[in-house]
Amino acid sequence: MTVWIVNPFDNLPTEGYRPLRFWLMAEAFVRAGHEVTYWTADFSHANKAPRRILPDVPPPPFRVVTLHEPPYARNVSLRRLWAHWRWAKAWTKAAAAEAAPDLIVVSTPPLAVGGAVRRYAARCGTKVIVDVMDDWPGTFERVAPRWALAPLRAVARRNCRSADAVTVVSDRYADLARSYGFSGPVRRFYHGIALPPAPKAGGDASAASALRLLYLGNLGRSYDLSTVIEALALLPSATLDVAGEGEQVPALEALAERAAPGRVRFHGYVGRAALAELLSTCDVGIVPMAPDSCVGIPYKFADYSSFGLAIVSSLGGESGRLLARYGAGAAYRGGDPQNLAASLRALAPKLAEARTGSRRLAETEFDADAIYAAYVRFATDLVK
C-alpha cells in the first residue's frame, strides 16, 4: 500500500540527529514492502531555524517532501499555531497534486495539520490514523484560560472523531482520545528507539556528589531545570550536562553560575555522535517536568534507558509506574531541590542495579524494531 506520514517537526537523521518516531515508522513500513512519503517542514522545531540537511548523509529508502513553514521562537505561542496553520495550507495544496494514498498517519500536534488531513481524507476516501504525541490544546492551559482554548479543543475533537484509528504514545492519551468521543480502535505504541549495544556494567558511585547527570531535550517552560541546578548546590561534586536549546537558556546559565559554578555544561542541540557520547559517559538521566505538564511517557525515557542511564523523574502516573516496575531509577517531587538531592543520595549506592533495570526497561518497552513492526501490522489490518 501507499502510506503518507505527516509530521512537520521531528528532527531528521539527514540533519545529523538520531531517527525519531515517524522516521523509524517510515522505515518499518518500507521494510514491510510499502511505499512511503514523509511530509515535513523546512523549519527546525528543535533549533528554531531553517533545517540544514547534511550533504554526506545517505538518502532514506522513502520519499521526503519538505514544505515551507514560517519561523516561530516559542513552543507555546500564537506564532507557532499560525506557522503550523500556514504549513497545513501548503500541505493541502501539495497533496492535491498527488495521487491519493491508501493510508495517512498524521501526528497531533499540530492540530491545523490534522484538520487539513481530515478534510483531504474525507474527499479522497483515504484511511487516517491520528497519532497523539501530546495533549493539545491542554498544554496551552499554562498560558491561556481554558475557555479561550475552546476552538482548538473543537478541532482536536473533530480530528479524533473523524479518524479511522488513533494511536498514542502513552495510555494517558488513549483516555484523551476517548474523552473526545472517539469510539474506534485506539492502540498505544511507546516511543521506539534503535537500541545501541548493551552498555558495560559499571560500579556504583561512591557518593551522590560524584554523579554525572544529563538532561536531554527542550529548554522551554514545561521543563524545570532550575530545580536540578539548585539541587547541585547540595551535591558539591555532582555535574550536569544539558543537551538542548530553548527560551530558558539565558536564565539557566545565570542560575548555574551562581548555584553551581563550573559544574553545569550547556552543549546546545547536539548531533547523533555527540549525543551518544554524552549518553555513554553520564550516570543519571533527569526528567524534570513542571507540575502542570501534560506529558505521559517522554522521549527521554527511551533515550536514557537505551544507554542504561538510571532515570530520576518528577513524573508520576504511567512514567512513575514504569520506573518502579523496572527498578530503573528514582522519583522526586517536582520543584523541590532538597527532595531531588535526597533522591540522588539514595540512588547512588544502588546505581548499578538501577542502570541494569533501566536497560531492561528499554529492551522490553522501547525497542523500535518491535514497536514499529507492530505499528505496521496494526495499520495494515486497518486498511484491509
pLDDT digits over 124-133, tens only?
999 999 999 9
Between CA 133 and CA 299 the distance in angstroms is: 10
Between CA 376 and CA 28 the distance in angstroms is: 7
Closest of 8, 63, 6, 19 to residue 37, by C-alpha:
63
Position 139 scores a pLDDT of 74
Region for residue 382 given its phi and psi (left: phi exceeds 0; alpha: psi -120 to 50; beta: otherwise):
alpha
Are the C-beta atoms of residues 50 and 44 closer than 8 Å to each other? yes
Between CA 72 and CA 78 the distance in angstroms is: 9
Position 156 scores a pLDDT of 92
Q: pLDDT tens digits for 47-91?
A: 899 999 888 888 999 999 999 999 998 887 889 999 999 999 999
Query: Quick check: helix, strand or coil at residue 19?
Result: coil
Are the C-beta atoms of residues 244 and 268 closer than 8 Å to each other? yes
Which of the residues in the chain have pLDDT under 70? 200-209, 291-294
Region for residue 47 given its phi and psi (left: phi exceeds 0; alpha: psi -120 to 50; beta: otherwise):
alpha
pTM above 0.85, yes or no: yes
Grid cell, residue 320, equals: 512513575
Cα 139 to chain centroid distance, Å, stands at: 14
* Domains by residue range for the chain, with CATH: 2-192+368-383 (3.40.50.2000), 208-365 (3.40.50.2000)
Closest of 118, 156, 158 to residue 137, by C-alpha:
156
Q: What are phi and psi of 235, to 5 degrees?
A: -130, 85
Residue holding cell 507557532?
80
Position 23 scores a pLDDT of 97
Position 55 scores a pLDDT of 86
Are the C-beta atoms of residues 158 and 133 closer than 8 Å to each other? no
Closest of 184, 162, 166, 127 to residue 1, by C-alpha:
127
Position 278 scores a pLDDT of 95
Burial of 2 (0-12, 13-18, 19+ CB in 10 A): middle
**What strands lie across the sheet with 63-67, from one edge to the other?**
63-67, 35-41, 2-6, 103-108, 127-132, 165-168, 186-188
Position 291 scores a pLDDT of 61
Position 293 scores a pLDDT of 65
Q: pLDDT tens digits for 284-325?
A: 999 998 765 667 788 999 999 999 999 999 998 899 999 999
Between CA 282 and CA 267 the distance in angstroms is: 14
